[in-house]
Structure 1
Amino acid sequence: MNETIIQTHGLLKTFKQANAVDRVDITIKKGEIYGFLGPNGAGKTTTIRMLLGLMKPSGGSIQVFNKDLKNHKIDILRKVGSLVESPSYYEHLSGKENLETLRKLLQVPKERIDHVLSVVRLTKDAHRLVKEYSLGMKQRLGIASALLGDPELLILDEPTNGLDPSGIHEMRELIKSMPETYGITVMISSHLLSEIDQMATQVGIISKGRMIYQDSIEKLRSKARPHIRLRVGNGAVAKSKLLKSGYVVESDDDYIYMEDGRDEYISELVATLVNQRIPVYRIEEQRQSLEDIFLDLTREGSGSHAAHSAS
């Protein structure tokens, strides 16, 4: 059974009578890359600030490493690295000097600096001034800073914001290597499903402050089942003939829809229609993209509460 790293129950944050985070339950297990997804303004950053002890919850509880954050804040945060909003640096210092400043505060061994620079692939740029860094390099330096204290948990808030495609690719590869190579559990927030889809093992979707989906990325993908659409000569007649013959179909004007996409099933169904002298003009496969599912879920928003699973 995987150890639970983050567990929240009924997490609540109220600003001026409005719930920015509305009774959110999060479960993150050791070794997961947990994608925390939602449109801008859904409550992601507020949730992350509460998890990092930067903001006080209005209600509910937060446990990290099976300890209550309220009573064990210092112990817990020692084992957590984070990158929230854009990292701040001393532009006139080199990457390595920036990390040295932070190392003294964290009181970690000097060799950690070279280690984290190699993890984020900045070794050859270690002595360049930060003001000469590209945006992608600055983000990677931000992750190096987050890793300096040798954390067991890394919390990243929109880490690819403003990066170009190659920066996004680098960041993605770096994050994907964390659990396997370094034993670090990662929570990463984003408003882009396509980005989370390529990294996360688990996903939590928040909309208008409420958690509307929490499960594996695989389960989310399985919602994107294809269905077959046929354009026929007479939809109503075709549907009634097919139902009489035992087929499971839906119709809409002159279109027939079915979820069973097996070749033999379709060929038999088409043969049935042709035998009944109903013309079949077109057969096509339609697949709902993950993006569509995400949009549907967030559109339903706080109306539906999705199933929680701790698989």
Structure 2
Amino acid sequence: MSIQLTSLTKNYNEQIAVNSISFEARRGEIVGFLGPNGAGKSTTMKILTGFVKPSSGLVTVCDINVVENPIEVQKKIGYLPEHNPLYLDMYIREYLQFHASIHKVEKNKIDYTIEKVGLLPEVHKRIKQLSKGYRQRVGLAAAILHNPEVLILDEPTTGLDPNQLVEIRQLIKELGKDKTVLLSTHIMQEVEAICDRVIIINKGKLVVDKSLEELKSGEKQVIEVTFDYKLEEQFIKRLPNICGFKNTIENNWILEFETTKDMRPVIFDFAHDNGLKILGLNKENKNLEKLFQELTK
């Protein structure tokens, strides 16, 4: 198992940052690691990389105990922290040569990595001359230079323009084919575009650990409809697949359906059969973003 956490807990004096969470991740899997600010994501990632010691619990990376052998674990990990630390006065190639010397990586890997992350157009510059997006690429290049088995990426797409987003997304997906990738982000579209699985933590506790496919299959359809006449609840309950409803104001209803079938034609037929007119109709799916909001608000 590439990553395995068992009952991981981290306390800072009286504050519980991570509260007995357990999960695992395998090779070839890209896992979205989500949660609001202060949920414990960065603390968990720092524990995985050996920068912070857990208060209790077992943490292994590639079957190596993180507490007992942090240096061996760090050889297996490529880490891009949220606040990407760089030596700004260095040139890009110089900075990567520095990392290559630490990991004892052959110099020919530097050119390969520079090209892989799209740094060639800027390679002649010092890091301080780069945009935020290109600085992120330098950090990602340093993380993958030694070809680690596990990649831990904390907000890797911060500061990227739309074109760069597509390129880095594709790169992460490619890297995820033969590595384990743990990806933290606040951008739900990134998770839906990249990840195979989603883990959500809130206030230090694990609240969701499911494949993206499972989450999507469980999406609920929400339709807001306004009729020309006020209905009683008993009529709304007759709608097929309805699992929730709320009468907001007068003739306006928020209807929730547990089905992937588009329920708007059904509502039109329902209105026709009951002699009603529809004055307004709006549909939305309860996507990952809404699920996240419900679980963490």
TM-score by length of 1: 0.82
Deviation readout 1:179-226 (Å, 9 max, x if unpaired): 23xx22211112232332222111111111111111112333334321
Determine the C-alpha separation between the residues in 2 that align with 1:248 and 1:116.
52
1:211 aligns with 2:206: yes
Q: Runs ≥4 in structure 1, deviation > 6 angstroms?
A: none
1:24 aligns with 2:21: yes
Determine the C-alpha separation between the residues in 1 that align with 2:58 and 2:15.
19
Gaps of 5+ in 2: none
Once the two structures are superposed, the pairs formed by residues 1-311 of structure 1 within 5 Å of their partners are: 4-180=1-177, 183-232=178-227, 233-236=229-232, 239-240=233-234, 249=242, 250=245, 252=247, 254-255=251-252, 257=255, 259=257, 261-262=262-263, 265-266=266-267, 268-274=269-275, 281-299=279-297
Aligned to 1:220, the other structure's residue is in SS state helix
- Checking the alignment, whether the CA contact within 8 Å between 1:242 and 1:269 is kept in structure 2 is no
Deviation readout 1:80-117 (Å, 9 max, x if unpaired): 11111333333333211111122112112121111211
Distance apart, 1:255 and its partner CA: 4.6
- RMSD of Structure 2 on Structure 1 (CA): 2.6
Figure out how many residues of one structure are paired with residues of the other and give that number.
Answer: 288
Match of 1:309 in 2: none
Aligned to 1:176, the other structure's residue is in SS state helix
Aligned to 1:49, the other structure's residue is in SS state helix
Distance apart, 1:6 and its partner CA: 0.8
Match of 1:308 in 2: none
> Given the superposition, is the C-alpha separation of residues 186 and 281 from structure 1 closer, same or farther in structure 2, using an over 3 Å criterion?
same
> Given the superposition, is the C-alpha separation of residues 231 and 9 from structure 1 closer, same or farther in structure 2, using an over 3 Å criterion?
same
Determine the C-alpha separation between the residues in 1 that align with 2:102 and 2:284.
56
- Checking the alignment, whether the CA contact within 8 Å between 1:235 and 1:255 is kept in structure 2 is no
- Checking the alignment, whether the CA contact within 8 Å between 1:11 and 1:59 is kept in structure 2 is yes
TM-score by length of 2: 0.85
Determine the C-alpha separation between the residues in 2 that align with 1:16 and 1:78.
31
> Given the superposition, is the C-alpha separation of residues 66 and 287 from structure 1 closer, same or farther in structure 2, using an over 3 Å criterion?
same
- Checking the alignment, whether the CA contact within 8 Å between 2:133 and 2:158 is kept in structure 1 is no
- Percent identity, aligned pairs only? 32
Aligned to 1:198, the other structure's residue is in SS state helix
- Checking the alignment, whether the CA contact within 8 Å between 1:230 and 1:280 is kept in structure 2 is yes
